[in-house]
Chain A
């Protein structure tokens, strides 16, 4: 029996080994001599040739290719070294990659044989506190020829922004790759990890010409692996390099080919005419290879259960007034008094009965399974007629639960996103249980069988959210179980990006209730009702940090940014498990 494709721990939960430089060197040395492997036949385009590659503000690389997989490199005037290499071609674009024996460095080079322009990626390990994370510096240049050097260069660009592809590599690896940012990318590992969640990585996008582009990502915060490839946009083919250490610390060092299916393009938000790359410039006085990398696991506060309990006891904030909260409700819907004066019960399908007395528009009493009444502050919004989104904390709950609820009073149905703390990895990281049930209230007859349910109708959509001046993001719903968010730069380019687990519930046609968890990333639980017709949401955030526990409003103006056609990659497989 082949087993399931899912890892025991997802990438953001996996404790990748902190490899030492010595451990890395031990694995690189034989690989550098041998050269990369490839599942496809490699090219002999460089065999028995010599190339001098001149780069701007970078090295001069003197190559002598002794055959299809052996080369000699002199960096400037340095002593020549022998190495194994692998080369591939795609139309006029030639690519080769190699490591340098005795070092933790190497190069990946792309040459346009028509123009002799070259892009050189210098690659190295042990350049960041996590030694396994591949570092890169990019040099533009050319292959030296007789006559004057060319004026043009390959350039960084945003022209790949918004694209997405389904790639199948020659080694069988299958991925969905989304480029909703010009500085990051989002990828779903269909074959390696089962496609349950998507992940994000800082990325480079370089225009070779209007038909060919170069893309590279490094899986920072995870394995540190580099994936770099040239894309032939017309033929939907790729060739490139994968370099890094996998979850078992095995070296991945191979060149590959692949074929793609075009999944569409979502909107770009830069001004027309703006095709600039480098949309997130490196920090001032950046060291070689340094760029702005979002490292949420590294920087998030990590609290114990005792610390969480103390923080919650010290300060709990429920719907702070405008300006006092996390600024995510600047464009919130007006709150509603719809529930004021009502009494009702929410009968959960899992047996819980929560009774409510709504004393006013922001004050309620609740009791669980006929217990004592407890007062709580709440807020409510009406994202669609008769649909009420409200939330409150459950004072006294050992895991500091918060109920975020959408109740449809036309159908007497509700969905509760039951947020809680004291989760297994970090106690301040929110967890969530999705709970369905019916509304019992005078004048309402709830259905016997009908319920809200999970949906894939948002799958592949991208929606922008403007919460307040200067606070705009885009959501990309890349799998039925995860969501990626992209932060726009001031020029409207997609900048930093991250992702987390998510779920999507259909309330009505065009009306959805979703949550996302910022796991290994601040620990926030975000919940919003999305109205695709009014282009608005209403939502509630639930967060615990050293400053205490908070429940706060979320509200933003929405724009449709497009949709990728990815439903078929997430359909339940009916073939059954192969024996």
Chain B
């Protein structure tokens, strides 16, 4: 079961009630309430941990620090050679974190601004000279959606994969 991280408590409860409905047939009311409460609590906890993981990743990226420890596989920590910065875009769509029903994986979607550095091909004298003087790079920012996949390993969340999609 999943819900947007920024959804209201009312909509969250509604979604939780629907997901839990089949259990109501077999379980007494008190047991049902306890199970539902635990599931919701676990999910809130998961989403909070994933949000914190995402913030930690953003901070490390902004500081130019090594973020590979946040990943399930350190080799998956790169977004590509042209991406030189990612920052939260507070004017974009609300962040969304969907935790799988088994609580072992999750998907996140975050509105971000991406700093892209595109290296000029060295096919002209001008470009060659620009590179020689330490430039030769076109920098621009674009609004994108960061699509993140998370996995829970040994009781802790880690980033499994990141991808940038059109906003």
Q: Report A's interface with B, CB cutoff 8 A.
A: 183, 280-281, 283, 292, 294, 296, 325-328, 467, 469-471, 473, 485, 487, 489-490, 495-496, 498, 518, 521-522, 524, 541
Contact = CB atoms under 8 A, between A and B. Distances in A.
B135 A327 contact: no
13 contacts: A281-B134, A294-B129, A326-B127, A327-B120, A470-B120, A471-B120, A487-B126, A487-B129, A487-B133, A489-B135, A490-B135, A490-B139, A524-B124
B130 A470 contact: yes
Nearest to A279: B133
Given A281-B134, A292-B134, A328 B126 contact: yes
B149 to A, nearest CB: 33
Label chain A's interface by main secondary structure.
Answer: loop
Label chain B's interface by main secondary structure.
Answer: mixed
Interface in B123-159: 123-130, 132-140
B125 A470 contact: no
Contacts of A495: 129-130, 133, 135
A278 to B, nearest CB: 11
A117 B26 CA distance: 91
Nearest to A328: B124
Contacts of A325: 123
A487 B134 contact: no
Interface in B102-122: 118, 120-121
A521 B138 contact: no
B132 to A, nearest CB: 6
B9 to A, nearest CB: 47
A283 B132 CA distance: 9
Contacts of A473: 126
B138 A470 contact: yes
Contacts of A485: 125-126
A470 B129 contact: no
B123 A280 contact: no
Given A296-B125, A485-B126, 7 more contacts: A280-B134, A281-B134, A326-B123, A471-B126, A498-B129, A522-B128, A524-B124
Contact of A496 (B124, B133, B137): B133
Contacts of B118: 470
B44 to A, nearest CB: 45
Contacts of B129: 294, 487, 495-496, 498
B121 A292 contact: no
Nearest to A486: B129
